[in-house]
Amino acid sequence: MEIKILDLLQRLHTPAGDIFFAGITKLGDAGAIWIILAAALVVFPKMRKHGLAIFAALCIDIVLCNGLLKNLVARVRPCDVNTAVQLLIPRPTDFSFPSGHTAASFAAVAALYFTGDKLIWKSSLILAVLIAFSRMYLYVHYPTDILGGILVGVFAGFAGAKIVMYMRRAGSK
């Protein structure tokens, strides 16, 4: 059924959409956009806790997602099941579940949300959703990979935020 959903998404392809979603997915490569955001936030004292929480969340995410779950589940990517689909990006070499791009994106958004950010998390959520959708549009993840990535990301973001907030409280005592 998931392959059928992805095949339906293939009907949405347009030249502009292909360029757009290939670019959007590239922002999520290795969590780059989220690392840049975290580094930028750390520079400003009032935003530092948000940046540190993103860094902590991304560290938790990479251990859970790439270090543990991908290898434990070892799910083959849809592009390896249906090789007739021509990929618009280089074929990923790791396993499919959960989506690392999605997990990193939602880890950053959740870290912002759980540390009390009032503004950045909303625009970050839009980008996170676009990155997650791009992974299906580009035929490199199943819908359940995306859902799994969201769950891992929200957990990592929550944990990262709690760790940073605990350390800040402990440091002020």
Task: For residue range 54-63, list pLDDT tens digits in order.
Answer: 999 999 999 9
CB 154 within 8 A of CB 110: yes
- The CATH number assigned to the domain holding 111 equals 1.10.606.20
Q: Does the pLDDT value for residue 171 go beyond 80?
A: no
Supply the pLDDT for residue 173. 60
Q: Does the pLDDT value for residue 107 go beyond 80?
A: yes
Give the torsion through C-alpha atoms of 133, 135, 141, 146, to 10 deg.
-40
CB 137 within 8 A of CB 21: yes
Whole-number mean pLDDT of the chain? Answer: 95
The structure tokens listed for 34 are 């989220």
Confidence category of residue 172, pLDDT binned at 50, 70, 90: low
How many structural domains compose the chain?
A: 1
CB 29 within 8 A of CB 136: no
The boundaries of the domain holding residue 52 are: 2-171
* DSSP assigned state of 93: -
Measured CA to CA, the distance from residue 71 to residue 69 in angstroms comes to 5
Instruction: Give the global pTM.
Output: 0.95
Indicate the length of the chain as a whole number.
Answer: 173
Q: Using one digit for the tens of pLDDT, what is the confidence trace for 4-49?
A: 999 999 999 999 999 999 999 999 999 999 999 999 999 999 999 9
